Amino acid sequence: MNLPLGYRYASTYAGIRKAEKDDLALIVSDTTASAAAVFTRNLVQAAPVRLSRAHLRASRGRARAILVNAGNANCATRTGDRVALATSRAAARLLKVPVEQVLPSSTGVIGVELNPKLITAALPALVAKLSPEAFTGVANAILTTDLKPKIAFADLSIGGGTVHLAGLTKGSGMIHPNMATTLGYLMTDAAISPRDLQPLLAAATNRTYNRLSVDGDTSTNDTVVLLANGASGLKPNADDRAMFQEALTWVMQDLVEQIARDGEGASHQITIHVSGARTEDDAARVARVIANSPLVKTAIAGSDPNWGRILSAAGNAGVPFDPAKVDISLQGIPVCRNGLAARFDEAALAQKLKASACRIRFLIQGPGRGEARFWTCDLTKGYIDINASYRT
C-alpha cells in the first residue's frame, strides 16, 4: 500500500465508548490541503456536521486536520455545538493551525451528552504520536458496530510522476443513499484546487456512497471528506482529471463494497445491476427499491432464488417499465425471462447463492441505456441482535 505523501495519522482510546478500544482519531495534512465534503441530507444534523460545514465555508475549502470520535454522535444534545467547537479549538491549538481548518466528525449514539474533557485530555498524547504509518489505526478507531476496518488505495500516473489516493471508511448500519452516508475520508497528494475538488467528490459520491444501503436509514452524522494536499508536487491537468475521477470513484466503490460486506449482521454482500432504464437515475431508483426490500434481503439470506420478490419490489420504484420485458438473473443464472419464470436448476442455484457475494441483474429489454449499480447486504437475525440491544 502506497500512502499519499504529507499526511500523518493517530488514534487512541479516550474513554468515549465503554469498550476499551480506540475511539478518537486525527488525520493531519502537513500543509494546508484543499478540502471537499458531502454531508448527510437528514433534516436532523449533528453538531460536528454543522461545524464542519461552517469551517469549510470560512476556510474557503481548505483544511489541515480531521478530528473524529466514535461512541457518541454528539447529536441532539444540549452542549453539542459547544463540544464540537471546544474540541476543534483544542486540536487547532495543539496543531498550530486555524480552527476553521479542523473538520470534526462524530459517530455513535444520538441524544447523549458528549463530555468534551475526554477528548481535550486525550489530544496532547494523540498529537504527539501522529505518524505517516498509523493509517489503519484510524480506520479501526472510527468503527462502531462494524467488524472490520475498511481501507482502499490507488496509484495514478500523471505527467511524469505518481499521485496516491487512500481512503478509509466506517459503515455497518444506518446507511442509505441520498447523502454522504456514514463516515469516509479520502486523502490524496495530488494538487487540486478546492474549486475543482468538490465536483470530483460529488460525482464519485453519487455513484458510490449514494448507491449504498444497509437498512434504509440515514444518519444525522454522515460525512465524506476528500483532502488534496499537493505533496506529490503533481497537478493533474484536464485530461488527468478524468483519470483521477475514475480512480477516486474506484477507491470509493471499493470502500462501499466493504461496507456492504460488513453490513450489520450481513451474511451476503449484494450487488444489484439494473440496465435498460430510460436514464441512469431511473436505473438507480429501481436498484434502490430492490436493495431496500426486506423480502428480497431475507430471500438472499435464505439463499432462495425468489425472483418474484425482485420483480415485485422493482414495480414499486415509480419508474415506468413493462414487466413482460424484464429479464432477471442471479449469480449469472437467468431466473426470469420476459417477466416469467425461466427454467433453471433451483438446487444448483441455491447452492451458488450460499457464496458470500450475490449478484442480482435486472435487465429491462428495449432501447433505454440507463444503467446503475447499487450495493447492499442481506437481512439476517444478526441485524436484529445488533440493533435490538444497541444501547444496553
What whole-number distance in Å separates Cα of residue 376 and Cα of residue 39?
A: 20
Which distant-in-sequence residues (6+ apart) come within 8 Å of 350 by Cβ?
303, 304, 305
Give the footprint of a second copy on residues 316-335 (CB under 8 A).
Answer: 316-317, 319-321, 323
Closer residue to a second copy (CB): 298 or 331? 298
Minimum CB separation from a second copy for residue 338, in Å?
9
What whole-number distance in Å separates Cα of residue 377 and Cα of residue 42?
A: 22
Considering only CA atoms, which of 304, 311, 315 is closest in space to residue 361?
311
181 is catalytic: yes
Among 15, 61, 194, 308, binds a second copy (CB under 8 A): 308
Closer residue to a second copy (CB): 181 or 229? 181
Closer residue to a second copy (CB): 104 or 173? 173
C-alpha pair distances (Å), 282 with each of 43, 62, 276, 309: 25, 35, 9, 19
Does 304 engage in binding with a second copy (CB under 8 A)? yes
* DSSP H or E stretch at residue 250: helix 238-261
Minimum CB separation from a second copy for residue 12, in Å?
26
Catalytic residue, chosen from 77, 87, 181, 223, is: 181
Query: Near a second copy by CB under 8 A, which window of 81-89, 97-105, 144-152, 380-388?
Result: 380-388
Considering only CA atoms, which of 93, 92, 124 is closest in space to residue 14?
124
Give the footprint of a second copy on residues 50-89 (CB under 8 A).
Answer: 73, 75-78
Does 39 engage in binding with a second copy (CB under 8 A)? no
What whole-number distance in Å separates Cα of residue 176 and Cα of residue 138?
A: 23
What whole-number distance in Å separates Cα of residue 337 and Cα of residue 133?
A: 52
Query: Near a second copy by CB under 8 A, which window of 15-23, 37-45, 253-261, 366-374?
Result: 37-45
Query: Near a second copy by CB under 8 A, which window of 86-94, 152-160, 181-189, 289-297?
Result: 289-297
3-state secondary structure of 353: coil
Minimum CB separation from a second copy for residue 169, in Å?
20
C-alpha pair distances (Å), 109 with each of 70, 98, 174, 304: 9, 29, 11, 35
Does 379 engage in binding with a second copy (CB under 8 A)? yes
What whole-number distance in Å separates Cα of residue 317 and Cα of residue 312?
A: 10
The contact set with a second copy (CB under 8 A) reads 42-45, 73, 75-78, 109-113, 173-174, 176, 215-220, 292-295, 298-299, 301-302, 304, 306-309, 311-317, 319-321, 323, 336, 339-341, 379-381, 383-385, 387-392
| Residues belonging to the active site | 181
